[in-house]
Every structure is written in structure tokens, then in C-alpha cells.
Structure 1
Amino acid sequence: MMKFVKEHLQTIDGVATYPMISLLIFFVFFALLFWWVFTASKAHIKEMGELPLDKDNH
């Protein structure tokens, strides 16, 4: 089975770019998430953290 997959992947032009694109998307996503965590309003984070405990929100 693995031999079939290797032979099939070798027939695809530019197949080596797909892992690089995946890594780039992964890095960009977590870099943006990291940026958001440090720039988010502390009041907003506190409000969202207390939301599950809020009894008036049913």
C-alpha cells in the first residue's frame, strides 16, 4: 500500500510545495492567534471568561 502511495505522489507535479504551504498556514494562524492574545482587551477577556458562570444569560 505504501509503495502505491509513494509512486502515485511522485506523479503529481509540485507535490513538495503542499507541505510547505501547510506549514506556512500553520505558522501564520498561530502567529495571528499569539498577536490577538497579547493585544486583546483585558475587559473583553474577563467578560468572556465569566460568561459561562452568568446566570442571567439563559
Structure 2
Amino acid sequence: MYKEVLRSMENVEIFPIISLIIFVLFFVGVAIWAMKVPKEYVDHMSSLPMDDDHELTNNRP
């Protein structure tokens, strides 16, 4: 049934190409951001889980 629906659509072959382009652009964007992010920000974020100064604001009993 699904094959017949897809066969009846015109230009259905463009959808995989569009999804690949979106994925590649997102991956390249994240890679560029990761290379440009300041080292101080990365060090700060990596130390947050072990930092005792930052208490949870929503303490549950």
C-alpha cells in the first residue's frame, strides 16, 4: 500500500536528498560551533557536574 502511495507522488525522489542536505548542514554547523566555542566555556560546563557550589533549585523531599 505504501509503495503505491509513494509511486503515485510526483518528485518523491527529492525527499531523501533534502533530508541528507539538512543532516549535513546540521552536522557541519555543530562541528563549526564546537571548533569556535571558547575553551573557558567548555571547561566551565565540564566542571558543573562535579561542582558543589551549584545546588539544585528544586530540592525534593
Name whichever of 13-22 and 25-34 sits farther off: 13-22
- 1:27 equivalent to 2:19? Answer no
Question: 1:13 & 1:53 partners in 2: Cα distance?
Answer: 55
Q: Which residue of 2 aligns with 1:48?
A: 45
Q: Which residue of 2 aligns with 1:13?
A: 10
- How many angstroms does 1:56 deviate by? 1.2
Q: Which residue of 2 aligns with 1:36?
A: 33
Figure out how many residues of one structure are paired with residues of the other and give that number: 55
Query: How big is the alpha-carbon RMSD for the aligned residues of Structure 1 and Structure 2?
Result: 0.8
TM-score by length of 1: 0.86
Shift >4 Å, 4+ stretches? none
Question: 2:8 & 2:51 partners in 1: Cα distance?
Answer: 57
SS at match of 2:10: coil
- How many angstroms does 1:9 deviate by? 0.3
Question: 1:47 & 1:14 partners in 2: Cα distance?
Answer: 48
SS at match of 2:42: helix
Q: Which runs of 5+ in 1 are unaligned?
A: none
Question: 1:16 & 1:24 partners in 2: Cα distance?
Answer: 13
The structure that is helix-richer by fraction is 1
